[in-house]
Homo-oligomer: A and B are copies of this chain.
Amino acid sequence: MSELKNDRLLRALLRQPVDTTPVWMMRQAGRYLPEYRETRKKAGDFLSLCKNPELACEVTLQPLARYPLDAAILFSDILTIPDAMGLGLYFGEGEGPRFERPVRRAADVEALGVPDPEMDLRYVMDAVRVIRRELNGRVPLIGFSGSPWTLATYMVEGGGTKNFARSKGLLFDQPEIMHALLAKLADAVTRYLNAQVAAGAQALMIFDTWGGVLTPHDYDAFSLAYMRRIVEGLTKEADGRRVPVILFTKGGAQWLGRMADSGCDALGVDWTITLADARRQVDDRVALQGNMDPCLLYASEARIREEVARILESYGKGPGHVFNLGHGIHPDIDPSRPAAMVDAVHELGRAYHD
């Protein structure tokens, strides 16, 4: 493996000194880039793109060619695990993800196998290997997975949902079935992430997209507990370096203190809390990643720069901040705007590091 030339991200996630604040964007390989839309057309559809390691590598690298980002993130979908479990993932025209065979009863959960990543999700591992090779040490590669609770909502609902009727119905009325499903998913996610590390991922992120729709009590029991279990089971080192783990619960700003005790290295933070408040909540036990409102990228470059300055100042001096959006970049953003953000972070960030 070639040596890592830019390790700002890995250092910042471990709260080690850096020259300036590192920056990347959630969903940085995505529809806002015309070159992404071209590659996706070539692939046919979204799932075919995910399942083609060469094309997945191509789109993973596209944003790096445009902006001096400090990380690449594996291009994939959060629903690869349930797909590999046999639920039959598909995307209808203009629809979100759907499953042909949702999970509803105890027998459905019992019937689920835990995928062997190198067998059942080989296309993901191959993508990691190809990307890592093509990156050639330029920046670290982040691997990822959906959280057990987030995967479970899609599996029980049979797709996306607004009301969480079936998934919360199951959680409230038959919590033992939900726990059995989550335990199996925690096992699957652990193996999946460890296989990504073995294939070359240098940092890991768990996306808990739907943890924020729970009560504090249910969040602890049905989402955070299983993320903690995963973190405990993860490979701690690769290539002689620690592999940092980031947890991100969308809408979880008020639970950062509890999340910081999960054993993870960093927390993703959306824009509904200032980084100063977030840092007080976690008391420097973990690094923080965030937290610009992605809608700022609709604004002028001057306004973007102003917001970058505000966020850097809110986190303040010292290591442990990875600049990012508080959510994925919107598909209708003008590709000229992220450049203003990335440049401002690198330039203004220097003042916060010795």
User: Which residues of A approach B to under 8 Å, CB–CB?
Assistant: 163-165, 168-169, 172-173, 212, 214-217, 251, 253-254, 271-274, 277, 293, 295-296, 298-300, 303, 307, 310, 330, 332
Q: Is B332's CB under 8 angstroms from A299's CB?
A: no
A108 to chain B, nearest CB (A): 18
Q: Is B215's CB under 8 angstroms from A272's CB?
A: yes
Residues of B within 8 A of A254 (CB): 253-254, 272-273
8 Å CB contact of A293 from B215, B271, B272: B215
8 Å CB contact of A299 from B169, B277, B330: B169
With A165-B330, A168-B295, A330-B163 as known contacts, state yes or no: A173 contacts B216, CB within 8 Å. no
Known: A215-B272, A217-B274, A254-B272. 16 other contacts (CB 8 A): A163-B332, A165-B295, A165-B298, A165-B330, A168-B293, A168-B296, A168-B298, A169-B295, A172-B296, A212-B272, A214-B272, A216-B272, A216-B274, A216-B277, A251-B251, A253-B254
With A172-B298, A300-B173, A330-B165 as known contacts, state yes or no: A251 contacts B274, CB within 8 Å. no
Residues of B within 8 A of A273 (CB): 216, 254
A270 to chain B, nearest CB (A): 9
Q: Is B216's CB under 8 angstroms from A298's CB?
A: no
**Bound: A216/B272 CA distance, A:** 6
**Bound: A173/B297 CA distance, A:** 11
- 17 A-B Cβ contacts within 8 A? A163-B330, A165-B295, A168-B295, A168-B298, A168-B299, A169-B298, A172-B296, A172-B303, A173-B300, A212-B272, A214-B272, A215-B274, A216-B272, A216-B273, A216-B274, A217-B310, A254-B254
**Bound: A147/B336 CA distance, A:** 34
A336 to chain B, nearest CB (A): 15
Closest to A291 in B: B215
Residues of B within 8 A of A272 (CB): 212, 214-216, 251, 254
